[in-house]
Chain A
Amino acid sequence: MSEPLPPPPFGKLRLVWWLWHLIARLGPLFALLLVIAVFAVADHWKNGENSQFFTAGNARTVSATVATVFVAALGMTVVIIAGGIDLSAGTAQSLSATVLAWGLMRAAFSSSNPWGAIALALGTGALCGLVNGALIGWLRVVPFIVTLGTMRAYLGFGNALAKETTLRPDTATQVPQWLQNWLSVRADALYFGFPLGVWVALVLALLMAGLLRFTVFGRHVFALGSNETAARLCGINVPGMKMAVYSLAGLFFGIAGLYQFSRLSVGQPTSGLGVELKVIAAVVIGGASLNGGRGSILGTLAGAGIMCVIDSGCTQLGLSNPVQDIVLGAVIVSAVAIDQIRQHRMDARI
């Protein structure tokens, strides 16, 4: 979806061409709006005057809930576009959160100057990614296997650091207030209607989109995912690229760890188990191809949003967990299937 566009035709066709590509690009976003509309109507129909789904308050709550998965999904998007996969995302994220909790509990980093602890946590994430990238790039083991292994290893490191319990920094003295407010929807923690963490996530998304679209690195990521052999023959340093891609993703998992910590205020290595599947689902609903070479930040935003909106909407409607899971599963499969069909049509047209 973010491949370089073929040159636009001239004359009257130009407008049609732009519209077509705009719709293709915004596809997942339309899907998100549609899901929101469906729930808004259903909620209004069921709860009448008391319906709360389509309110600013709920938008805040949903945005705060989705932010963690979204930030991790930004990293995962790059990995998937480059033709890889990272199953260690969840445990790398909770390992970073655990490191952050551990750091904050040390006297060396007081709550007035927590930057050391934060740098340590983000560094941990990037290091996790670097290890993945090095193993994949130099040992040439497939990413699925490598990250399946490191997923357990990072869980182990986290548990070792936390001594198999939960690290609980004292929220009154050891955790800075801004970090506690990072994703808080209390009135005094909001900036322009949303918590700071949500704005930062959007800025990160913009940076990532810019990186993918306007830099040589971004073009190489797409090239690597489209055809690794061709990329190598074109002179791209494939192992080096892989290390860079996974390290960048790891950094984002580290940032997601900070998000997770701000929400839980505890460091618990096991809380990342299963998160990787949510993150991958967000990227895939957003139209990325697991075969590599295709994916977009806007799509990932929509994908993460769709999942969270379904969760929120089902709760507001009083639907049970089984129903919620079935709906979510159906949406994941249909979103990908429909995207596939649309892609074929577009290919046929070109």
Chain B
Amino acid sequence: MRLFSNGVLACALVLAGCESGSHSSANKGNGGGPRYRIAVIPKGTTHEFWRAVHAGAAQAADKLGDTEIIWKGSQLESDREGQIAVVQSFITQHVSGICLAPNDSQALVEYVDQAVQEKIPVVIFDSGLKDESKIVTYVATDNYNGGVIAARRMGEVLKGQGNAILLRYFPGSESTERREQGFLETLQKEFPKIDVISSDQYSGTTPEESLTKATQVLNKYKKEVNGLFAVCEPNASGCLGALEQTELDGKICFIAFDPNAALIRGLESKKVQGIVLQDPVKMGYEAVMSMHKHLQGEKVPKRIDTGSTVATPENISEPHIQQLLKPAQYQE
């Protein structure tokens, strides 16, 4: 038993060490601690996208001065249980408000209700919730429109003809489902000569999984395929790798959603014909700002669109595209 207690004490010391470090990231208000503590819960923590959202949220907190943000999410975007535990934990802590990017549109409804019942207002960002009656506002890219832009770009590159593949992301993720819907409906309406030859495959949540899946799909349709749309960043990274492995890179029109370093290099070398860009920094910023407004008793619109544009090999050097391609990343 003595050994056991020593072990746990050692853990306590580790905790204490880390704990003093975490103080520095808090934004202290003018004397006597922050007035508002706002929990910001992303879908996952490993994608670059969320680091940009974090940067935006931190910018808002810096600007406001009286607000501290607490950034915490489950590590895997598919971990619904993990996210629920985080939300409940913040309810227990009685934070001033919760900004949440739900990783399931239905599973989180109950827990948002619980927060509201405990008088903790909730702002939803990035991905929608099935029941939006109780939330303050929904801050997000109009994902349907993102899919529409992707379809138009593909139509433009393929000159309105060819075979397209849509690689879906993960069942139950509202934001990507809207993109998929926007893409498919626009192709059907505006480019009737583009056939969608595969739209039923889910790539999974990690680049490794989607590399495997995309390679399989591309091998199957190697001869017919002219265009490929990957609906989010981890998915697109995997697809780019798969295009290289099947030696289709540069030969077909590849449209990605959300940038990362590899995809931007792909855009420069014309292996990628388009990347639909959201504005994650603005999303994090607006989520915290609108929560703050609500806490101050001001009115907030029910829906805040943070916009989307498409980067192409032609417009890549324009400054506003550059800013969206390489959004600010949160630094400790």
In angstroms, Cα B89 to Cα A55, docked, is 12
CA distance A223 to B15 in the complex (A): 41
Task: Give the distance to chain B from A98, nearest Cβ to Cβ, in Å.
Answer: 12
20 example contacts (A-B, Cβ-Cβ < 8 A) are as follows: A27-B4, A42-B12, A42-B19, A50-B94, A52-B93, A61-B91, A166-B171, A264-B84, A265-B106, A268-B104, A270-B78, A271-B80, A315-B72, A315-B85, A319-B22, A321-B45, A321-B73, A327-B11, A330-B11, A341-B3
Assess whether A311 is in contact with B85, with CB atoms less than 8 Å apart: yes
Query: Would B15 and A61 count as touching, CB distance under 8 A?
Result: no
> Contact: B78 with A57, CB < 8 Å?
no
**Chain B residue nearest to A23 in the complex (CB):** B1
A-B contacts, CB under 8 A, total: 150
Known A30-B4, A34-B5, A342-B3; judge A61-B88 contact (CB<8 A). yes
CB-CB nearest in chain A for B45: A321
CB distance from A350 to the nearest CB of B (A): 17
* A31 part of interface (Cβ distance < 8 Å): yes
Known contacts A38-B15, A61-B88, A264-B81; is-contact A318 B45 (Cβ 8 Å): no
Top 4 nearest A-B pairs (CB, nearest first) are A166-B172, A334-B7, A165-B171, A315-B89
Q: Which residue of A lies closest to B25 (CB)?
A: A318
Question: Would you list which residues of chain A between 293 and 326 have a CB under 8 Å from chain B?
Answer: 311-312, 315-321, 323, 326
Judging by beta carbons under 8 Å apart, are B106 and A168 in contact? yes
- The chain B residue sitting closest to A326, CB to CB, is B14
CB-contact partner of B94 in A27, A52, A168, A264, under 8 A: A52
Chain A residues numbered 197-238 whose CB sits less than 8 Å from any CB in chain B: none
Q: Are A316 and B106 interface neighbours, CB within 8 A?
A: no
Q: Are B1 and A319 in contact (CB under 8 A)?
A: no
**Which residues from A are CB-within-8-Å of B90?**
315
User: Is A68 in contact with B78, judged by CB distance below 8 angstroms?
Assistant: no
With an 8 A cutoff between CB atoms, is B107 at the interface?
A: yes
Number of interface residues of B (CB under 8 A): 48
Given known A-B contacts A30-B1, A34-B8, A327-B14, A65 and B88 have beta carbons under 8 A apart: yes
B36 CB-CB contact with A under 8 Å: no
Is the CB–CB distance between B110 and A180 below 8 Å? yes
> Chain B, 91-113, contact with A by CB distance < 8 Å: what is the 0/1 string?
11110000000001011011000
A127 contacts partner chain B, Cβ-Cβ < 8 Å: no
Shortest distance in angstroms between B119's beta carbon and chain A's nearest beta carbon?
Answer: 13
Q: 20 new A-B pairs (CB below 8 Å) besides A42-B16, A271-B80?
A: A35-B8, A42-B19, A61-B89, A162-B171, A164-B200, A263-B81, A268-B80, A268-B104, A268-B172, A311-B85, A315-B72, A317-B15, A319-B15, A319-B19, A319-B22, A321-B72, A330-B10, A334-B10, A335-B7, A339-B4
Residues of B within 8 A of A327 (CB): 11, 14-15
Q: A186 is contacted by which of B3, B8, B86, B114 (Cβ under 8 Å)?
A: B114
- The 8 A CB mask of A32-58 against B (1 = contact, 0 = none) is 001100110110001000101001011
Set of chain B residues within 8 Å of A260, measured between Cβ atoms: 81
Contact A312–B85 (Cβ < 8 Å): yes
Given contacts A164-B202, A330-B11, contact A58 B92 (CB under 8 A): yes
Would B1 and A331 count as touching, CB distance under 8 A? no
What secondary structure prevails in chain A residues at the interface with B? helix
User: Which residue of A has the minimal Cβ distance to B94?
Assistant: A52
Shortest CB distance B45–A (Å): 6
Interface membership of A244, Cβ < 8 A: no
The answer to whether residues A184 and B110 also contact, given A268-B80, A271-B80 and a CB cut-off of 8 A, is yes
Chain B residues lying within 8 Å of A46, measured Cβ to Cβ, are 19
Bound-state Cα–Cα, A157 to B106, Å: 23
B129-168: CB near A (< 8 Å → 1, else 0) gives 0000000000000000000000000000000000000000
Q: Are A318 and B22 in contact (CB under 8 A)?
A: yes
Flag if A266 contacts B106 (CB, 8 Å): yes
Q: CB of A121 within 8 A of chain B?
A: no
- Chain B residues closer than 8 Å to A271, beta-carbon distance: 78-81
Question: Which residues from A are CB-within-8-Å of B104?
Answer: 166, 264, 266, 268
Give min CB distance, B243 to chain A, whole Å. 24
Residues of B within 8 A of A264 (CB): 80-81, 84, 104, 107
B204 to chain A minimum Cβ distance, whole angstroms, is 8
- A27 to B117 CA separation, bound complex (whole angstroms): 40
A196 within 8 A of B: no
B75 located at the interface, meaning its Cβ lies under 8 Å from any Cβ of chain A in the complex? yes
Q: Which of B45, B75, B89 contacts A316 (CB 8 A)?
A: B89
CA distance A260 to B86 in the complex (A): 16
Contact B110 A338 (CB under 8 A): no
- Distance, CA A165 to CA B89, complexed state (A): 29
> A57 and B7: CB pair below 8 A?
no
Closest partner residue, chain A, to B171 (CB atom): A165
- For A122, what are the chain B residues with a Cβ–Cβ distance below 8 Å? none
Does residue B38 face the partner (Cβ distance < 8 Å to A)? no
